[in-house]
Structure 1
Amino acid sequence: KLSFWAHRFKSSTSAIGADIAADICRKIELLAKKNNLPAAVPFIEKLDRQVEVLEEKLKRVLSEMEETQTKAAIKRSIETNIGSAVVIDDDPVVQGMIVAALRGLGVVNVFSASSGKDGLALMAKSKNDIDVVICDLKMPEMDGVEFLRHLVSSNYRGAVILLSGEDSRILNSARQLANAHSFYFVAALQKPVTQLELAGVLAKINRKHSIVSKSLPSKVSLQELEKAIEERQFVVYYQPKVDTYSKQLLGVESLVRWQHPEKGVVMPDDFIPLAEENGLIDALTDLVVDESFAQLRCWRNQGIDITVSINIAVGTIGRRLDFPERIMAYLDSHQLEPQNVILELTESGLMGDIATSLDALVRLRLKGVNLSIDDFGTGYSTFRQLQGIPFTELKIDKGFVMNACTDISSRAILESSILLGQKLGMKLVAEGVESMDDWLLLKKLGCHILQGFYISRPMPGEQLEAWLKKWGASMAKN
């Protein structure tokens, strides 16, 4: 028990930068593990005196925190619109530090709980009207993973930030769990967490979304989807892809949105699965290809010489043996060349039997159409597919890009993916670029093309020309 509590207190004191106390705890923990309790007694007495010093210091720091220049600067910089947050951590010191940091960053209502069970009670009391949940993974009784499972059943739709003092790979696994349940997962942070780190995470929430927990559209029906395809209620947004070194615009990725006449904009996650399950994905693909090619023709008439990338379901290619001819017909009708187009296939979609799709993919390449393997690193048959399919581009999943600057495992996967693509002579695209730090790391590693919110959000086609002028002006200054 002594070694357990020494370890716990060591984490707490490290979190607040109390290096002397943390070092004493480290010595007590080692002696306790060796069952040398008499030798630990002097250190325990020394720790008691150090705790008294820390208590006074902590009270003084917390009382002055409201007026510090650092906090004021951070608060001005993020201009947070986050109204409420719940902090769940069984360590009272860490919990108190995070609560104080959030309040100092302008979060209006900050609630705290010492267990997952108490956290769920808070969430239920607030009727899930919580913008951000910050949750420790390792807690007694109900751990953070079990807490996430309960959040799923409560239909929570706000942001999730995970904390842990454990190995970074455990955080990565928990992050994958959160993503699998369609949480708005923001970050996995290693303890101790600083106010500056929290500020960066909260700013990321503001960039990526307005808070999503209150006004999601109700689920759409199959009949509504069929009508939407027939009436072409879909619009295509475009996200820029730029050269890592010259910063020149090279292309865009097409991202479909449903402009529902009553429910407003419906995002792909709410209708793509329905389309795939009911045989409507092929018709939707035709609509997106036609719209994207028409927009590309318009841009080229304006002198904007770029490519367009379109996501294609592997099943669509396998079912339609004439798919290459369909693509060529659309290209001809819009007076475009095959090299103007990149077709993106998700790695997970390639995990099944692709024998029926392979001949169509080879014929597309023979006709000059570029092929990209999307979300690279998220599937399990990667190397076999890279060897067997003539891809020209490798697109690294954003999960590895967004965390590479702070997470050792993500960086290792990112570096390996880039090296693999370089060895195979493929163009390398990184999606999920959200900061200059991401950009500089990818530049250092040799990634060719960047895409993400740091560059631009997806936009309607008619806005690209104005964005391009603004981008060029900002790049000229830098």
Structure 2
Amino acid sequence: MYKELAAAKELLQQKVSLLHSLADTDELTGLLNRAALTRHLNQQMGSSRSSENAFALAFLDLDGFKEINDAYGHDVGDKLLRLVAKRMAANLRTHDIVSRFGGDEFVVIMQGNLGDSSAMDSLDRLIHQLSQPFHIGSLSLSISASAGITLYPQTEPIASDQLIRQADQAMYQAKLTGRNRVCMFNLDKELAQKGQHQKATEIQAAIAEHQFELYFQPKVNMRTGQVLGAEALIRWNHPTQGLLGPASFLSDVSESHQGVELGRWVIAAALAQMGSWHDQGRNINVSVNIAGYHLQHSSFVEELALMLAKFPMLRKQQLELEVLETNAINDIDQVSIVLAACKNLGVNISLDDFGTGYSTLGHLKVLTVDVLKIDRSFVKDMLSSQGDLAILKGVISFAQAFECDVIAEGVETLQHGQRLIELGCEMGQGYYIARPMPAVDLSAWTDAWQQSQYENKFKFTARAAGNKG
């Protein structure tokens, strides 16, 4: 009786083990199925983060399998998948795990702390084996595979499904770059993109909560002292970090919807401030910086026209669009059309940071701009660098040849201003003249400049101008 019970118990255990095995096995290929893979990953990732449990996870997708399936039928397709599974198992180490994730997708866990190069080498060898012909009856079938790899553990906690998604993303990159190859998931790039997305979301909220503000840096004629206007410069009144300049956040929304929306806000805010000054009896010209991707937005000209229409009391020439030279060159024909449309609206156009890109006389001829703006990098060292001085002379000559005004950024000393005037560039802006300031301070600064500041800062120039008069 005891022997019979023991035999029955053993048979039951065998059946239970078989059922578990069947539940974990892909019916077609005999590999682990998706559910078993997920359970194994969760167990291994949950046990420890030590290097003893490190592994590389690869996601493979067959290239051209659908075409074979469509051409020869599902029976041949199924046989091909079995052969692929067999070849994969034969070309991996005994302690590696291979599973069929679904369709013609496979996931491989390569045990051990392999590192980027070792994991790539192992998968390259496997990919090469899979590219060799498969024989089914009289058919000789050739396919390839694209694979993506990610490594574990990582610097941040991660779930098993996220790990698989990383390898999947890298696999799609392999397909995009030509198929039959392996790509490593770039964790640093992923973290950077997450950071950019988070910053973009934060900027979107900051726009809604009115945390942005325009500062204004005056532009003057350094020979006569005339205040020509001001450049609008965005600032972020961050609730925890204080006042932030554009360099700390604009790159995070470059080429994005938030970047375009922020550009719209700058134009609208500048026009609103110009309208406020107009009501106070002051007509101040303002220039705003326009990114190339915003300028080439399909509705840019239409939106600009609508914003200008809200301030009929302003002369359209009071607004100037400063376009980065390098951005303009990305698509010279399209930019030329957009700028021509903007000029038809009445606004002025300035080519900013002139000399830093690859502009030619032909570009200047196509882009009919009103002002060339010399980049501060050339002004900074003009007193000591013959190369920068030569570039300055060249830009001033270009401006004269194309009947453009020219203005220099980065005027930081009296000597900079005097030398620029001698070269034929009378218009300037920079810290020696004035630092960027809130809108509320500009009127008082203008009055003080006209009353005494200009005479104090440019007294030799001012007296010379007076003697000539």
Q: Pick the TM interval, shorter chain.
A: 0.5 to 0.7
Quick check: 2:215–2:437 contact (8 Å CA) kept in 1? yes
List, as ranges, runs of 4+ consecutive aligned residues in structure 1 with deviation greater than 6 Å: none
| 2:444 maps to 1:456 | no
CA distance in 1, matches of 2:294, 2:260: 6
Structure 1 portions without partners, runs of 5+: 1-217
User: Does the CA-based 8 Å contact 2:229-2:285 persist in structure 1?
Assistant: yes
Please give the TM-score of this superposition, normalised by the length of structure 1.
Answer: 0.52
Shift in Å, 1:350: 1.7
Q: 2:303 aligns with which of 326, 329, 352?
A: 326
Aligned to 2:222: 244
Q: How many residues align?
A: 260
Say if 2:406 and 2:427, in contact at 8 Å, map to a contact too: yes
Question: 2:254 maps to what in 1?
Answer: 276
Report the alpha carbon displacement of residue 476 of structure 1 after superposing the two structures with TM.
4.4
For 1:381, the equivalent position in structure 2 comes to: 359
Q: Is it true that 1:475 corresponds to 2:454 in the alignment? A: yes
Deviations 1:98-147 (A, max 9, x none): xxxxxxxxxxxxxxxxxxxxxxxxxxxxxxxxxxxxxxxxxxxxxxxxxx
Kept in 2: contact 1:373–1:393 (CA 8 A): yes
**How far apart are residue 337 of structure 1 and its match?**
2.0
Match of 1:372 in 2: 350
**C-alpha displacement of 1:353:** 1.9
Aligned twin of 1:37: none
Q: How does 1:249-268 map to 2 (within 5 A)?
A: 249-268=227-246
Which whole-Å CA distance do the structure 2 matches of 1:471 and 1:395 have between them?
A: 23
Aligned CA RMSD, in angstroms, stands at 1.8
Tell me how far apart the structure 2 counterparts of residues 436 and 257 of structure 1 sit (CA, whole Å).
Answer: 28
Say which one has the larger Rg: 2
Residue 412 (structure 2) pairs with residue 434 (structure 1):
yes
Confirm or deny: 8 A CA contact 2:230 2:286 kept in the other structure: yes
The residue aligned with 1:395 is 373
1:419 corresponds to: 397
- How far has the Cα of 1:302 moved from its partner? 2.5
Within the candidate set 300, 324, 328, 1:350 is matched to: 328
Q: Residue 240 of structure 1 aligns to which amino acid in structure 2?
A: P
TM-score in terms of structure 2 length: 0.53
Paired with 2:380 and 2:331, the residues of 1 have a C-alpha distance of 31
Distance 1:474 1:222 in 2: 41
Alpha-carbon distance in structure 2 between the residues aligned to 1:297 and 1:464: 14
Report the Cα distance in structure 1 between the residues aligned to 2:399 and 2:255, rounded to whole angstroms.
Answer: 33
Displacement after TM superposition at 1:475 (Å): 2.6
Q: Larger relative CO (CA 8 A, sep 6+): 1 or 2?
A: 2
Q: Deviations over 1:310-335 (max 9, x none)?
A: 00012112122x32232222122123
| 352-361 or 374-383, larger mean C-alpha shift | 352-361
Secondary structure of the equivalent of 1:280? Answer: helix
Pick aligned residue for 2:266 from 285, 288, 297: 288
Residues 419 and 355 (structure 1), Cα distance of their counterparts in 2 relative to 1, 3 Å cut: closer
Unpaired runs of at least 5, structure 2: 1-194, 460-469
Q: Equivalent of 2:315, from 312, 323, 337?
A: 337
C-alpha deviation, 1:343, in angstroms: 0.2
Shift of the alpha carbon at 1:372? 0.6
Partners in 2 of 1:363 and 1:372 — Cα distance? Answer: 14
CA contact (8 A) 1:421 1:427 kept: yes
Would you say the 8 A contact 2:287–2:321 is kept in 1? yes
- The alpha-carbon distance between structure 1 residues 366 and 278, as it changes in their structure 2 partners (threshold 3 A), is closer
Rate the CA distance shift 1:382–1:273 in 2: closer, same or farther, 3 A. Answer: farther
**Aligned-partner residue type, residue 435 of structure 1:** T
Q: How far, CA to CA, are the matches of 1:476 and 1:373 in structure 2?
A: 30
* Structure 1 CA distance for aligned equivalents of residues 347 and 289 of structure 2: 13
Determine if contact 1:365/1:390 at 8 Å carries over to the other structure: no
Give the Å deviation of 1:430.
0.3
For residues 444 and 433 of structure 2, the distance between their equivalents in structure 1, rounded to whole angstroms, comes to 14
Change (3 A) 1:303 1:476: farther
Structure 1 Cα separation of the partners of residues 414 and 218 of structure 2: 16
How many percent identity over aligned positions?
36
Distance 2:341 2:360 in 1: 21
Partner Cα distance (2:405, 2:266) in 1: 24
What is the match of residue 225 of structure 1?
203
1:277 offset after TM fit, Å? 4.2
Seen in structure 2, the aligned counterparts of structure 1 residues 460 and 434 have a Cα distance that, compared at 3 Å, is same
Q: Deviations over 1:76-99 (max 9, x none)?
A: xxxxxxxxxxxxxxxxxxxxxxxx
Q: 1:314 and 1:457, CA in 2 relative to 1: closer, same or farther beyond 3 A?
A: same
Q: Is the 8 A contact 1:232 1:287 kept in 2?
A: no
The 8 Å contact of residues 347 and 382 in structure 1, kept in 2 or not, is answered as no
- Structural mapping, 1:129-208, within 5 Å: none
